[in-house]
Amino acid sequence: MASAVASGADPRQVAEEEVRRRTGRSAGRGPTRGRSAEGRGQGEAGQEGQDVQEPQDEGMDPADFPAAREQGGSIATVMAQRTVSLDEAGEALNQSGHKREDGEQVHEICPMVLPKGRSFLSMLPVLMLLVLGAVGTAVVSTVDDSPLTNPFFGLHYWVVALAAIGFVWWRQGMVMVPDGCQALITRFGKLEKVVGPGRVILISPWKRVSYIVNTVREYPFNAPVREAPTKGGVKASIDLFIQFRISDPTEFVYTLGAVRGFEEKLSNAVSETIRSLIYEQEAAGIYDMVGEDTGRLLEQLNQQFRPAVELTNANITHAEPADRGYRMDLAAPEMVRMAKEAYTHEYALMLRKEQDEGDLTKELATSHETLSAIQADIAQYQAQMDTAVERETNRAEALARQRYVQAESEAKANAALLEAQALDIRAVTAAEAPEILEYRYQRQILDALVEVADHLPRLVRIGGTADGSDAAGVDFLRLARELVGEHGGELFTEADMAAVRERLDEVSARISDRESEIGALLEAERPTVAPEPAGTSEVSGAPDATGTAEASGRSDGTGVPTGAGDLSGTDVTETAAGTAGSAGSVGSVGSAGSAGSAADVPHHSEEDDQ
């Protein structure tokens, strides 16, 4: 039935079929069981064959109902007494182990040992001293009339030899009784006394330690009883576990017969007591004997072995019917009950599974709805974040562009102001000392001539000029001046200098007017770009800054204001600067040549700069 349920069959149907089959079989087995109970003694082999054959017809495997002995769960106990030396007595008494006896594994205990007596081999070395002394004395007597005074085999030799023999004899008579044990001392086989643990000295050569018994340790003893009939005639097997302690070693040795006698008496007493106990039980109640109170059983056994041995504990560790067929009959209702419980449990699990799957589906749908709502919220928040980021980015970029244009316009206005001031200062300087500019101009012309001197072409002039004013030959200085564009004219004419000097006062006044504005600009601790009010438009402020720059004066790529007035009177300066071909000369000459035009530069104020 168990195999059918395991293979996937319906447990309820299998249980019903088993109940019907068991009910019909029980009705037909009444006489058979009675006859089998009456004929138990006819042969165990035929009975076992009958019991095995009958379950096999029902489709049940007898191997599913093994006995405890077949499973190795019960091990018998045997007692042993060993003959060991006195030094090894304590170890032997406290040692137990397993061994094989008659093909079975048994547990061996040793509650008593037989110690070995004195050995004459240990006395042989000192006895040889006597033999050697006798031979030596005989030899010395043939030579000397007084052998007792001989230095080798005299009286002192015999004293030392006898002392050595006495010491060895005393040492061999010293006996050490192990802790927790008692020793029985006999003289010619008669018990003299019983001594406890410690040192015992036996001087008499007729006394010896015959037995050493452990009286403290509690030894375990397992007594299995097989094939004991119950009240209904069904045989049962029971394992009884006993713990005993030897309380009186004298009674144990001489009354119970030591280890062998006690083991036989204990096995017989346990078998008799257990069989009487089993005979009072019904076959169906055999399993209930495990773990029940064994006080009465323990008291019956103690009455038989006191005062030699005290049984301290007794437990029934295993009890079952010995008949395999009967075990199968007892197991059938249990199998049906287990099958019903298995079916009920399986059905409950199936219902629980369906319920859990429904709950899981519902929770999964709820989780999907929650996930969709969360994703929608995330998308909404993400869109709001992107919009806010884009709005703030555009606002920041517009504000940055506005401030950049404002700063650039203000910087250009300030640069134009400073450059106009510089041009006016240079114009004043050139008007006061035109010789310095003339000297610098001629110096630059000479430097340019030196640079092109090595690169002049080789020219050959044949004849003079057409008008005949020049002699034949080449004027390299004139040629070089022509190459660099110099025709020998002056930098400033008298008319130019007069025009510049006429406007000197006007330029000086303009310089003085700008000094306060430039000083305030240099000493100002405010940033170049003023912070914009909160209500100011982001983009609308840019044209205002640009207009401010235009109001301050538009400038070209060089930063010079385009509305700085006309540059009339400076054509000669600019032409001379272009002829020189030098950046430095252009700056110097341009500065000087702009003196006349500095008056046309418009006046700037702090309001225009802002």
Which is nearest to 283 in space by CA: 224, 230, 331?
Answer: 230
* Cα angle value 57/63/69 (rounded, 5°): 135
Q: Any alpha helices (H) in 208-323, and if so which ranges?
A: 249-254, 258-279, 295-305
Chain-centroid distance of CA 135 in Å reads 85
Three-state SS for 81?
Answer: strand
| Res. 334 pLDDT band, cuts 50 70 90 | confident
Which is nearest to 449 in space by CA: 492, 489, 490, 478?
Answer: 478
Give the pLDDT confidence score for residue 560 in this predicted structure.
Answer: 37
DSSP state of 154: S
Radius of gyration of the chain (CA): 69
Residue 19 to residues 324, 339, 400, 479, 607: CA-CA distances in angstroms?
20, 11, 97, 144, 118
| Res. 187 pLDDT band, cuts 50 70 90 | confident
* Number of domains comprising the chain: 2
- Judged against a pLDDT cut of 70, whether residue 189 lies above it is answered with yes
What does residue 560 show for φ and ψ, rounded to 5 degrees?
Answer: -85, 130
Give the pLDDT confidence score for residue 491 in this predicted structure.
Answer: 66
Domain assignment of residue 140, yes or no? yes
Listed range (99-113, 280-294, 451-465, 526-540) with the worst mean pLDDT: 526-540
Listed range (25-29, 69-73, 364-368, 425-429) with the worst mean pLDDT: 25-29
What stretch of H or E contains 334? helix 324-432
Chain-centroid distance of CA 530 in Å reads 62
User: How far is 521 from 247, CA to CA, in rounded Å?
Assistant: 123
pLDDT in tens, 214-259: 888 899 988 888 877 888 777 888 888 889 999 899 999 988 888 8
Question: Mean pLDDT throughout 497-524?
Answer: 80
Give the pLDDT confidence score for residue 399 in this predicted structure.
Answer: 94
Question: Mean pLDDT throughout 161-184?
Answer: 78
pLDDT in tens, 560-607: 333 333 333 333 333 333 333 333 333 333 333 333 333 333 333 333
- Judged against a pLDDT cut of 90, whether residue 380 lies above it is answered with yes
- Taking the model in full, what pTM does it have? 0.42
Specify whether the CB–CB gap between 417 and 604 falls below 8 A.
Answer: yes
Question: Mean pLDDT throughout 109-115?
Answer: 87
| Res. 174 pLDDT band, cuts 50 70 90 | confident
Cis geometry, peptide bond prior to residue 307 (ω within 30 degrees of 0): yes
Domain assignment of residue 442, yes or no? yes
Give the pLDDT confidence score for residue 525 in this predicted structure.
Answer: 53
Top-confidence residue, 306 or 480:
306
What stretch of H or E contains 44? helix 44-57
Domain assignment of residue 46, yes or no? no
Chain-centroid distance of CA 513 in Å reads 83
Contacts of 320 (CB under 8 A, 6+ apart): 67, 68, 236, 237, 286, 287, 327
Give the pLDDT confidence score for residue 381 in this predicted structure.
Answer: 95
- Judged against a pLDDT cut of 80, whether residue 300 lies above it is answered with yes
Specify whether the CB–CB gap between 172 and 154 falls below 8 A.
Answer: no
User: How far is 8 from 343, CA to CA, in rounded Å?
Assistant: 11
Give the pLDDT confidence score for residue 134 in this predicted structure.
Answer: 76
Boundaries of domain holding 598: 406-455+475-529+539-609
- Judged against a pLDDT cut of 90, whether residue 40 lies above it is answered with no
Three-state SS for 217?
Answer: coil
Burial 338-349 (b: 16+ CB within 10 A, else e): bbeebbeeeeee
Of 181, 214, 247, which one is at a domain's C-terminal end?
Answer: 214
Residue 589 to residues 238, 338, 372, 598: CA-CA distances in angstroms?
137, 123, 80, 14
Two tokens, residue 525? 């601790």
Domain assignment of residue 238, yes or no? no
Domain assignment of residue 544, yes or no? yes
pLDDT in tens, 124-156: 777 777 777 777 777 777 777 676 777 777 777
**Most confident among 70-79, 335-344, 433-442 (mean pLDDT):** 335-344
Specify whether the CB–CB gap between 115 and 85 falls below 8 A.
Answer: yes
Of 155, 187, 214, which one is at a domain's C-terminal end?
Answer: 214
Give the pLDDT confidence score for residue 28 in this predicted structure.
Answer: 39
Beta bridge partners of 101: 104
> What is the residue-averaged pLDDT of the chain?
71
Beta bridge partners of 207: 187
Give the pLDDT confidence score for residue 93 in this predicted structure.
Answer: 84
Which is nearest to 330 in space by CA: 51, 49, 81?
Answer: 51
Of 163, 189, 214, which one is at a domain's C-terminal end?
Answer: 214
Domain assignment of residue 599, yes or no? yes
Listed range (293-302, 483-492, 564-573) with the worst mean pLDDT: 564-573
| Res. 371 pLDDT band, cuts 50 70 90 | very high
Domain assignment of residue 172, yes or no? yes
Domain assignment of residue 285, yes or no? no
User: How far is 602 from 551, CA to CA, in rounded Å?
Assistant: 10
Question: Mean pLDDT throughout 437-447?
Answer: 80
- Judged against a pLDDT cut of 70, whether residue 449 lies above it is answered with yes
Which is nearest to 276 in space by CA: 340, 228, 216?
Answer: 228
Specify whether the CB–CB gap between 82 and 52 falls below 8 A.
Answer: no
Listed range (206-215, 541-550, 570-579) with the worst mean pLDDT: 570-579
Residue with token string 């989780």: 367
Which is nearest to 193 in space by CA: 219, 211, 218?
Answer: 211
User: How far is 517 from 527, CA to CA, in rounded Å?
Assistant: 16
Contacts of 577 (CB under 8 A, 6+ apart): 585, 586, 589, 590, 593
User: How far is 440 from 438, CA to CA, in rounded Å?
Assistant: 5
Beta bridge partners of 237: 320
